[in-house]
């Protein structure tokens, strides 16, 4: 299935049905009079977040959505049938934006969330409702309230607990393949990841979702490489895992490039808690690992975890730190024990 994270669509609710002009004429009934019924209400445009969807690809082929209008009223004070609501199903994490993309109109963050976006027009009044003591045979009626319509953008932001960031070939795909059931593409060239990947981590009785996005390069905020369009998928993450390739020319510079792109993007990404890991250490000796870790610690201002996603070294240590940053699971009981196990790394 192709991945698509934004699409522009046209939506229109249903117009209200017209009221009827009718007069009652029945044999053996002395007094007649108006009996035109009201028109039916038009259908609403409703968005609903459903499970099982993780792309907006369907909206590439179907871009116009129109709810049915209400039916007209009829004699005998019969109200016209209402138009059915048009329910548009979207993935969890979808935002509905105005046509100029300046305003978020709706935000779907949970399965089953259902919101009326455009309301259908009310039906017009039949002539029976216009009858008064001085107007016994009215012939006026309502034509029904008009529909509402709009062009909107759908933007998908994947919901994940942790997000992977780093330069191309930092080993992000290898790591997510090692700790989740994802099957991300791995290759010895830049930008093997061309679309976001999601995986579920199961570690020490906990489950959390991790997202991998295409690698960032210097100038990504200005459109270099794949650009920064996929950074929106980690805006909702509670922690970032920053992987730095230990085989790069300058690990401190690699870290700086990614951090500057996060700051340029904004949306609070640079302020999120982060776990920094020096990846691909299986190709280095202990002395060089220690030197590069110290250099990266100085650049990041925090601890650095030596890691090898391919060999499995340091993976548990990273996952422990991610779980700590994510926080307790919903409904979990806090642990009052004062003693905690400290995970120490030692080269394999």
> Which residues carry a binding-site annotation for GTP?
166-173, 212-215, 279-282, 308-310
The annotated binding site for Mg(2+) is made up of 173, 193
The CA distance from 100 to 93, in Å, is 20
For the chain, the distance separating the N- and C-terminal CA atoms, rounded to the nearest angstrom, is: 40
Residue 127 zone, left/alpha/beta (φ > 0; ψ -120 to 50; rest):
alpha
Q: How far apart are alpha carbons 228 and 225 in whole angstroms?
A: 9
- Beta bridge mates, 151: 10
* 106 touches 118 (CB < 8 A): no
Annotated binding-site members: 166-173, 193, 212-215, 279-282, 308-310
Dist CA 26 CA 310 (whole Å): 88
* DSSP symbol at 281: G
E-strand ranges in 172-264 read 197-203, 206-212, 239-245
Per-residue burial over 147-168, b if 16 or more Cβ lie within 10 Å, else e, is bbebebbbbbbbbbbbbbbbbb
> Which residues 6+ apart lie within 8 Å of 125 measured at CB?
19, 38, 39, 141, 142
């Amino acid at each position: 299935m192709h991945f698509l994270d934004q699409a522009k669509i046209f939506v229109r609710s249903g117009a209200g049905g017209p009221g009827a002009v009718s007069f009652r004429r029945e044999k053996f009934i002395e007094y007649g009079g108006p009996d035109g019924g009201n028109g039916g209400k038009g259908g609403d445009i409703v968005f609903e977040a459903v499970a099982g969807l993780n792309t907006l690809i369907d909206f590439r082929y179907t871009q116009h959505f129109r709810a049915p209008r209400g039916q007209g009223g009829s004699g005998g004070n019969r109200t016209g049938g209402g138009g059915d609501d048009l329910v548009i199903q979207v993935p969890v994490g979808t935002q509905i934006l105005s046509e100029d993309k300046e305003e978020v109109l709706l935000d779907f963050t949970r399965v089953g969330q259902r919101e009326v976006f455009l309301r259908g027009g009310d039906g017009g009044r039949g002539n029976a409702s216009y009858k008064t003591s001085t107007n016994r045979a009215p012939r006026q009626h309502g034509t029904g309230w008009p529909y509402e319509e709009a062009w909107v953008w759908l933007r998908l932001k994947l919901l994940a607990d942790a997000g992977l960031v780093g330069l191309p070939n930092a080993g992000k795909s290898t790591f997510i393949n090692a700790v989740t059931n994802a099957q991300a593409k791995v290759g010895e060239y830049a930008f093997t990841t061309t679309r976001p990947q999601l995986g579920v981590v199961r570690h020490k009785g906990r489950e959390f979702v991790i997202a991998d996005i295409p690698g960032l390069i210097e100038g990504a905020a200005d459109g270099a490489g794949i650009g920064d369009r996929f950074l929106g998928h980690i805006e909702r993450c509670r922690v970032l895992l920053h992987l730095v390739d230990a085989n790069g020319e300058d690990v401190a510079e690699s870290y700086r490039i990614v951090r500057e792109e996060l700051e340029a993007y904004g949306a609070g990404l640079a302020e999120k808690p982060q776990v920094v890991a020096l990846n691909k250490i299986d190709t280095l000796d202990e002395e060089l690992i220690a030197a590069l870790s110290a250099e990266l610690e100085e650049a990041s201002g925090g601890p650095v975890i030596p890691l090898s996603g391919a060999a499995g070294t340091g993976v548990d240590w990273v996952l422990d730190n991610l779980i700590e940053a994510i926080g307790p699971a919903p409904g979990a009981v806090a642990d009052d024990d004062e003693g905690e196990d400290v995970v120490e790394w030692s080269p394999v």
